[in-house]
Structure 1
Amino acid sequence: MKVALIQQKFHGSKEATNQRTIELIREAAEGGAELVVCQELHQTQYFCQSEDTKFFDLANEWEEDVKFWGHVAKQKGVVLVTSLFEKRADGLYHNTAFVYEKDGSIAGKYRKMHIPDDPGFYEKFYFTPGDLGFEPIETSVGKLGLLVCWDQWYPEAARLMALRGAKILIYPTAIGWFESDSSEEKSRQLEAWVAVQRGHAVANGLPVVSVNRVGFEEDDSGVMDGIKFWGNSFVFGAQGEELFRADSESEECYIVDVDMKRSEEVRRIWPFLRDRRIDEYQNLTKRFID
């Protein structure tokens, strides 16, 4: 299957950014991609660098946004993964990924489960934790194990998607460096991010796709020094083999061939799911084993 990764930057406004996204999706469709994956919160700036109630207004048009991207998916004839700011009710918001079929219909949605609260990533102020569980989304290109950004650090999330029959793990992402960090610390953070997701591919015998944004975005409040999003979108195969890795600067549509049948071959020689000691894992549901 040809999978397109849309790695891009914020272009100063929702309208300009969406237009650029559509151009890249068109490139993907023309290049034969069947599945197109956008980055986390791809319509706007990453507004979680500070806590400001004005940013809740970015979700006011979320229902129109859902229809808009469904139209794009239908027009381009692709299965499309988007990432939107969902207003569920007054004062109740989610970081939600919507998946569209090639005919523009909604195949399903996933509400981000793990919500960070770190300096520069104040997402708990904006997002309620997801309540839809770790349920793969059935599409014409297979069952998509869709997770979002902070979810990527948790092997439990990847495992539960795999156990429910996901054929591929997908992570729309927004993560980057603070310029005040040393070059050594930046390298450690980036490689840890890549390594943990590569581990999900190996442990579950599934391909993994992660799509991150690029570009520098200032903190509107002036408290933080802004984030330089590190790109490096990638695809790993079912045995952890690197199929593709982008750089940290380019805004591109990357099309990658993913062998969706390889999981069966890998799981036959590495039957990790078979050998799990499920009778001994009860304590995994505890916060900590005192």
Structure 2
Amino acid sequence: MSKTLKVGLVQQQAWPEKQRSLQASEAGIRELAAQGAELVLLQELHATHYFCQSEDTALFDLAEPLDGPTGQQLAALAQELDIVIVGSIFERRAAGLYHNTAIVLDRARGRVGYYRKMHIPDDPGFYEKFYFTPGDENATQGFEPIDTSVGRLGVLVCWDQWYPEAARLMALAGAELLLYPTAIGWTPSDDIAEKQRQKDAWTLIQRSHGVANGLPVIVANRVGHEPDLSRVGEGIDFWGGSFVCGPQGELLAHGGEESENLLVEVDLSRSEDVRRIWPYLRDRRVDAYGDLTRRYRDR
């Protein structure tokens, strides 16, 4: 029996002014809900500009607790519109302890779960290790799906999307969907060929998680040029390209490089059918994978 879910994605620009960014998020959520979306995914750190382009202790002032203004605004929208929203916050957990956190708001129930980003990058223009502590892998918010009224959500964040281990652990824990709020783009000076290679790799690796686990994958990325406010770097051109794919990696919706909302109907029952013909979980050699817990196999 078919079990369908209308999924919406908000692909937006963001600005240093938190309220301006949140207004754009809210407008997208409202438009998608009016079109029948039951689940809406927002991009990574949608409430502010991508501040990790430089290291500045003053920017910790952007952080807020799980139940801070952003969480409260999204919870009110989820209740008003009777939908599930997956948002993103710069979380202040304690003095000197901050996370990049996805929060899940379920209709009138409010926040039903959260996920703290596990893989933290540290690259030119993406200095996230300065700001974010990795999630606690042994706690309930590690690679653990979040139960909602629309299904069991395997929520991961951006850099997590490159790691097959993260997707597989979510699948093994019973996730029905994989969701990736994202902030990724090009350095303006990269040539066209390099830009295309990067974007193709980004899309391909996530679609492969859908194939390898027999699950739909939902990805929301930001758009637009965001300058490095320190004026040291070139800034980042966020490439958009938000998409939804099915359990065989088939593209169901694919965004461009401008602000837009995507709405797609996902058949959750197909995962059962696909896993019957491609039974990867059945044929895994769990007795032979012990070395995966090692950093590297030195000869």
TM interval, shorter chain, is: over 0.9
What is the aligned counterpart of 2:28 among 24, 31, 56? Answer: 24
Instruction: Please state if 1:96 is matched with 2:82.
Output: no
Instruction: Please state if 1:74 is matched with 2:83.
Output: no
Q: Would you say the 8 A contact 2:53–2:124 is kept in 1? A: yes
Per-residue Cα deviation, 1:209-261 (whole angstroms, up to 9, x for no partner): 01000010000111110000000000110011111110112x12211111100
Instruction: Please state if 1:193 is matched with 2:202.
Output: yes
Q: Would you say the 8 A contact 1:71–1:104 is kept in 2? A: no
Which sections of structure 1, spanning at least 5 residues, go unmatched? none
Instruction: Please state if 1:180 is matched with 2:184.
Output: no
Instruction: Please state if 1:52 is matched with 2:56.
Output: yes
Instruction: Please state if 1:5 is matched with 2:13.
Output: no
SS at structure 2 position matched to 1:138: strand
Per-residue Cα deviation, 1:109-165 (whole angstroms, up to 9, x for no partner): 000000000000000000000013100000001100000000000000000000000
Instruction: Please state if 1:126 is matched with 2:134.
Output: no
Query: What's the CA shift for 1:64?
Result: 2.8
**Which residue is 2:40 aligned to?**
36
Q: In structure 2, how many angstroms separate the alpha carbons of the residues matched to 1:111 and 1:145? A: 12
Q: In structure 2, how many angstroms separate the alpha carbons of the residues matched to 1:100 and 1:47? A: 25
Q: Would you say the 8 A contact 1:4–1:37 is kept in 2? A: yes
Q: In structure 2, how many angstroms separate the alpha carbons of the residues matched to 1:208 and 1:51? A: 32
Letter in 1 for 2:284: R
Letter in 1 for 2:97: L
Instruction: Please state if 1:230 is matched with 2:242.
Output: no
Q: In structure 2, how many angstroms separate the alpha carbons of the residues matched to 1:26 and 1:211? A: 16
**Which residue is 1:240 aligned to?**
249
Q: Would you say the 8 A contact 2:247–2:270 is kept in 1? A: yes
SS at structure 1 position matched to 2:32: helix
The aligned runs of 1:108-147 (5 Å cut-off) are 108-131=113-136, 132-147=141-156
Letter in 2 for 1:174: A
Count of aligned pairs between the two proteins: 289
> TM-score, normalization: structure 2?
0.95
Q: Would you say the 8 A contact 2:44–2:181 is kept in 1? A: yes
Q: Would you say the 8 A contact 2:90–2:100 is kept in 1? A: yes
**Which residue is 2:159 aligned to?**
150
SS at structure 1 position matched to 2:41: strand
**1:122–1:188: structure 2 CA closer, same or farther, 3 Å change rule?**
same
Query: What's the CA shift for 1:66?
Result: 1.7
Query: What's the CA shift for 1:78?
Result: 0.8
**1:280–1:10: structure 2 CA closer, same or farther, 3 Å change rule?**
same
Q: In structure 1, how many angstroms separate the alpha carbons of the residues matched to 2:157 and 2:287? A: 30
Query: What's the CA shift for 1:65?
Result: 2.3
The aligned runs of 1:159-178 (5 Å cut-off) are 159-178=168-187
